[in-house]
Structure 1
Amino acid sequence: MTRQTRRDPGTFTAEQRTEYESLLRSRKPRPDGTIGGPFDPWLLNPEMSHRLRGLGGMLWERTSLDRGLVELAISTTGRVWEANVEWASHAPRAVEYGVPQAVMDDVYAGRRPNGTPEQVLVYDVCMAMHIDHRLSRPLYESATAAFGERGLAEIMAAIGYYVLVSMTLNAFEVEVAPGTPVPFAREP
């Protein structure tokens, strides 16, 4: 069960209400009025929510990278952080955008995937940043040769943003959507 206190949207401040209504233009609320994902915790600070959603929208819709590669980077981040909502939301999207299910199965299992060179490179870049907190010179050169400096900067922004998303989801123990399997077990 999510840790965040359930709030009636009727009790929101004017700023929270404005941000909530903005969210409703792109997301359907659950029967209890919650939005899901990191959005309910972010609504506690409506300015923060607005700014983070703007960045998220840009990263989700307007990068120079193939959408499947972005979803693979997001999913890899969700796997590293064992963020249930992140994995449950983005792993299927990676497949939808062309990443083979076998690649996603490898990522979920914690294995380096056997995918296209670009898919393996995105995975390697993500894991290097999550584990080593840096890119080796050869990995940097491979990434910039494949994606350009702009593409690499966008990968860094995507995984950084989704670390924040994953941290929010995990801190508040945000639940997956009803009927969705829970990818990572939690202790009570």
Structure 2
Amino acid sequence: MSIESRLSPLNEAHMAPEQRRVLDTILSGPRGNLDGPFLAWIHSPELADHAQRLGAFCRYGTRLELRLTELAILFTAAWWQSQAEWQIHEPIAREAGVAEAVIEALREGREPTFERDDEALVVRLGESLYTSRRVDEALYAEAVAVFGEPAMVELVGVFGYYALVAMTLNVFEVRRGDGPLPFAEPPGS
């Protein structure tokens, strides 16, 4: 699927050695492509190098089930109305077991009805973190009891990393394919 952005096109013949090294690392890793924010970050190979390692951990290495990680990513994509982030992760979330009704509610900005308590907890944490920039004691204690302290730390990392991804994709207008966008574009963009 094609990726477009407002960035100057990447010309492999004119890449700096550091860009080439980071590109090779990304392409040989678990992602295998320059999808999403990497199209932007490769313009700053130092950022790309650090971010791709953090992203690989957040996506593939946490203690959380993939279903919960992908739910946190979709919640973040919907919060930031990040077109490409949603386009990339929506099918992954579905395949990981996130219910269609939850996916659609998030995309439409509605409160989902959850069949699984751990999913409701992930969304409550995301809502608290993004709206108040804090998590109160009761919610924190519940999350630690359900996920454990190390996984709670990792979940906060997932929310933070994918907020960075969403901002990158939004600023540089990264789009995947030519199909309909999941979110209406704000006026003037």
TM-score (norm 1): 0.91
Q: By how many angstroms is 1:179 displaced? A: 4.3
Please list every run of at least 4 consecutive aligned residues from structure 1 whose deviation after the TM superposition is greater than 4 angstroms: 26-29
Q: Is the 1:88–1:180 contact (alpha carbons within 8 Å) kept by the matching residues of 2?
A: no
Superposed, 1:1-188 pairs within 5 Å as: 2-26=5-29, 35-115=34-114, 116-176=116-176, 178-186=177-185, 187=187, 188=189
CA distance in 1, matches of 2:131, 2:103: 19
Per the TM alignment, residue 136 of structure 1 is displaced from its structure 2 partner at its CA by 1.4
CA deviation after TM superposition for structure 1 residue 99, in Å: 1.1
Contact kept in structure 1, 2:106 and 2:112, CA below 8 Å: yes
Name the amino acid aligned to 2:11: D
The runs of 5 or more residues in structure 1 that have no matched partner are 30-34
Distance 1:180 1:62 in 2: 31
> TM-score by structure 2 length?
0.90
1:138-167 Cα deviation digits (max 9, x unpaired) = 111111111011111111000000000000
Matched-pair contact (CA < 8 Å) for 2:6–2:173: yes
**1:50-101: CA deviations, max 9, x gaps?**
1111111111111111110000001100100000111111122111111111
Maintained 8 Å contact 2:107/2:183: no
Task: Give CA deviations for 1:91-116 in whole Å, capped at 9, x if unaligned.
Answer: 22111111111111111122222111
Q: How many residues align?
A: 182
Structure 2: segments with no counterpart, 5+ residues: none
